[in-house]
Structure 1
Amino acid sequence: MKIISPRLRQNNFDLIRLLLALAVCLLHAHELSGTSELGIIDTLLSGKIAIESFFVISGFLIFMSYEKSRSLSDYFEKRARRIYPAYVVSVALAAILLSSISERSLAEYFLSSEFVRYLGFNLGFLNFLQPDLPGVFTEHRLTAVNGALWTIKIEVMFYLSVPIIVWLCRRVGRVRVLLTLFIASTVYSLIMFHLHESTGRGMYFQLEKQLPGQLRFFIAGAAIYYLLPFFERHVKWLVLAAGIYFLVRLQFEVEALRPIALGIVVVFFALYNYVGNFCKFGDFSYGVYILHFPIVQTMIHFGAYQANAWLALLTTVVLTLCGAALMWHCVEKRWLLKNSHYVQAGKEKQGNRPDVSAAPR
């Protein structure tokens, strides 16, 4: 089912994703460095909300992408081209370049089983099985090379599940399927939270962060996409209700309503108050997300955050943005199909108006 809406032709999804990726970068800089000077970052930003917002946006855009795909193979090809080339480069670059700061010799480093395991597991989206490189960041608060990659495997699992979900929606009914998945995901998340609090075992906290628990945010984004005409007709009341929820949650949290409220707010800012065709410059959000963590870790290794936390943070952001721009122009853009809306967006420079609703991400 294709949703026709003029607002889908002009949206702020790319800009929002970039801002969310930068927020995660700032939060990781503070968390990994442990410098008290950067404590205000945790006060102003929330990594949890940033990640959940990413999942909402993915739910909205990936279901739209699937509905616009010519075939199942077309859908999977778009997903693979968008995600995997830059992912491979980021994993490989870290594995190669960080050999220069390893405590081990080059021979010990490249011939070690940890190095082989790192490449194998990380290239297969299983970074949790080997997050470290031999002799790298061993004295850090967290030794993982790229702790941000855990969300990528959740995205990939979601991509794989979308065709199944859409098939069920067409056979059983969209409302019934999406509501069932939303409720099941919320119940799973609440059970994991309860087990974590009652036993104190971190395993349950980690399990809650996986796809079953995060699926409700994807489903919230998908539901808004399918109900977009209703959303547009009642947007003022929906945003008001979401605002009330976020005020009330300061005193009383209703976990089941959070994905819905967050989805309303995110999609509202994406589709209303258009700020311009930001994607004509490229989509740097993915590069920022997959590159920032090892850059932060490397800055910590050289003592930059201990010397001057704010200057180190500024340097980290600049290096990350430069790396993301290079990743986009040298890797990501080259793998996109010609009908990608990022390719079409470049035509604006020649005076043509692109259809940015075509094949998002």
Structure 2
Amino acid sequence: MTTNYSAKHDNSFDIIRLLAAVAVIYSHHFALSGFSEPQVLGLESFGTTAVIIFFSISGYLIAQSYQRSSSDFEYARKRFLRVYPGLAVCLVFTIYICGGLLGSESFLHWVTSWDALKTWLRVMGLTGIGFVGVTPEGMNNFTNGYIYPNTMNGSLWTLFFEVFDYIVLAFCLKWFSRYNAGLWIFLVGSVVLQLLCLHFGITKLALVATSHFSIPFAVGALFCVYRDRWINNPKVKVVLLVVALIALLLSGLDVILVKTLYTVAVCYLTLLIGISFRDRLIKGRFDFSYGIYIYAFPVQQIAINELGIGFWSSMLLSLLVTLVMAALSWFLIEKPMIGRKKSRVLVRATE
């Protein structure tokens, strides 16, 4: 595997991801309270737009990670350590603590039950993701009587598609690296699949979500592999910006390309802004976005349905509690795992 790449550039991806994570909390709070989620240009919710932003940045950074990895095993190891340790602890909180304290069975009975362990294993295996398809019994009937029932961590369902994109990207870069053909096939295939879903009214989640999230991921990856051609070229950046703005304007038309154009435009703008501006506030200090993503949903469910303190008060409380939990997840779990990844690289460099 070739490991030649240009030097790491300053960017503002960390702060963009943090703002996108907060946008998800804002958007989800409406849905969890029984209201329609606010829309961006009447096309996508704030939450869906934030997920597009996440996937576009992820595509860029994961492609870079693959190029910098010494082997496919090293790449897989880094991805595992970034996703699964934090997820494992979050599921203990969601399934055992929330389900045990707020479910129908007693705490001791629930935490020692096979149903609790089975649910934990299912979601760790990325099946029943986000407790979509997990029966109420698999959640100790937690959230049954809530405004948004039978879903105690609905955000996690996108993790399956994130990991799917990790695998597809590695396959494309390893076996179809010439002219980056694999990534182009990945992007075109995702666009075609989305257009087919829109044209024929296909609503099957696996097809709709795969196409919808793989488009920004593939675009982000292509931005990465072609970065030497545009990253220090203001003219190319201006052209890309104009293309993105035109696509954003066209996405307001009532045409079959509406969601595709909107997705591509958001992706372009995210990457251009992320690369063009330097984050002096949080870059290199912390990254709470993943912690917010995995903890916000159950915190919001509890704040909305158990406390009865009003919409905006519960949103503010949810944000504060989630930030605390995300900080604990970062400093106690995620950062140490990232440290293990970096120390492994340093050991290899000194051998």
TM over 0.5: yes
Q: Supply the AA of the counterpart residue of 1:159.
A: Y
Q: Supply the AA of the counterpart residue of 2:24.
A: V
One of 299, 308, 311 as aligned partner of 1:295: 299
Moved more, 242-251 or 323-332: 242-251
How many Å separate the matches in 1 of 2:214 and 2:119?
A: 27
Q: CA deviation at 1:211?
A: 2.8
Q: CA deviation at 1:33?
A: 1.2
Q: Secondary structure at the match of 1:138?
A: coil
1:308 matched to 2:310: yes
How many Å separate the matches in 2 of 1:159 and 1:277?
A: 29
How many Å separate the matches in 2 of 1:105 and 1:249?
A: 51
How many Å separate the matches in 2 of 1:56 and 1:109?
A: 39
Q: CA deviation at 1:248?
A: 2.1
Q: CA deviation at 1:257?
A: 4.0
How many Å separate the matches in 2 of 1:252 and 1:261?
A: 16
Q: CA deviation at 1:32?
A: 0.5
Aligned in 2, Cα 1:94/1:247: closer, same or farther, shift over 3 Å? same
Q: 2:173·2:183 contact (CA, 8 Å) conserved in 1?
A: no
How many Å separate the matches in 2 of 1:111 and 1:297?
A: 24
Q: 2:154·2:297 contact (CA, 8 Å) conserved in 1?
A: yes
How many Å separate the matches in 2 of 1:118 and 1:224?
A: 38
Q: Supply the AA of the counterpart residue of 1:302.
A: E
Q: Supply the AA of the counterpart residue of 2:183.
A: L
How many Å separate the matches in 1 of 2:51 and 2:35?
A: 23
Match of 2:65 in 1: 65
How many Å separate the matches in 2 of 1:16 and 1:167?
A: 30
Match of 1:54 in 2: 54
Q: 1:95·1:119 contact (CA, 8 Å) conserved in 2?
A: yes
1:262 matched to 2:266: yes
How many Å separate the matches in 2 of 1:259 and 1:102?
A: 39
1:112-151 aligned at under 5 Å gives the runs: 112=113, 114-126=115-127, 127=129, 128-130=132-134, 132=136, 133-140=139-146, 141-151=148-158
Q: CA deviation at 1:107?
A: 4.9
Q: CA deviation at 1:328?
A: 0.6
How many Å separate the matches in 2 of 1:55 and 1:103?
A: 37
Match of 2:184 in 1: 179
Q: 1:25·1:292 contact (CA, 8 Å) conserved in 2?
A: yes
Q: Secondary structure at the match of 1:135?
A: coil
Q: CA offsets, 1:223-271, max 9 Å, x none?
A: 1111223333200111012112112211244254444433221111111
Aligned in 2, Cα 1:33/1:259: closer, same or farther, shift over 3 Å? closer
Match of 2:201 in 1: 196
How many Å separate the matches in 1 of 2:75 and 2:323?
A: 29
1:81 matched to 2:81: yes
How many Å separate the matches in 1 of 2:341 and 2:92?
A: 29
Q: 2:52·2:267 contact (CA, 8 Å) conserved in 1?
A: no
Q: Secondary structure at the match of 1:176?
A: helix
Question: CA RMSD of the aligned region, Å?
Answer: 2.5
Question: What TM-score do you get using the length of structure 1 for normalisation?
Answer: 0.83
Q: Supply the AA of the counterpart residue of 1:162.
A: L
How many Å separate the matches in 1 of 2:91 and 2:340?
A: 26
How many Å separate the matches in 1 of 2:279 and 2:296?
A: 26
Match of 1:276 in 2: 280
How many Å separate the matches in 1 of 2:342 and 2:218?
A: 24
Q: Secondary structure at the match of 2:330?
A: helix
Q: 2:96·2:116 contact (CA, 8 Å) conserved in 1?
A: no
Aligned residues: 328
Q: CA deviation at 1:281?
A: 2.6
Q: 1:224·1:263 contact (CA, 8 Å) conserved in 2?
A: no
Question: What TM-score do you get using the length of structure 2 for normalisation?
Answer: 0.85
Match of 2:337 in 1: 335
Match of 1:353 in 2: none
Match of 2:349 in 1: none
Q: 1:59·1:221 contact (CA, 8 Å) conserved in 2?
A: yes
Q: Supply the AA of the counterpart residue of 2:82.
A: R
Q: CA deviation at 1:213?
A: 4.5
Q: Supply the AA of the counterpart residue of 2:105.
A: R
Moved more, 223-232 or 284-293: 223-232
Percent of aligned positions that are identical: 25
How many Å separate the matches in 2 of 1:243 and 1:231?
A: 18
Aligned in 2, Cα 1:29/1:225: closer, same or farther, shift over 3 Å? same
How many Å separate the matches in 1 of 2:208 and 2:114?
A: 29
Q: 1:131·1:144 contact (CA, 8 Å) conserved in 2?
A: no
Q: 2:291·2:326 contact (CA, 8 Å) conserved in 1?
A: yes
How many Å separate the matches in 2 of 1:46 and 1:238?
A: 23
Q: 1:78·1:337 contact (CA, 8 Å) conserved in 2?
A: no
1:109 matched to 2:113: no
Match of 1:95 in 2: 95
Match of 2:227 in 1: 228
Q: Secondary structure at the match of 1:321?
A: helix
Q: Supply the AA of the counterpart residue of 1:328.
A: W
1:286 matched to 2:316: no
Q: Structure 1: any 5+ residue segments left out of the alignment?
A: 198-203, 345-361
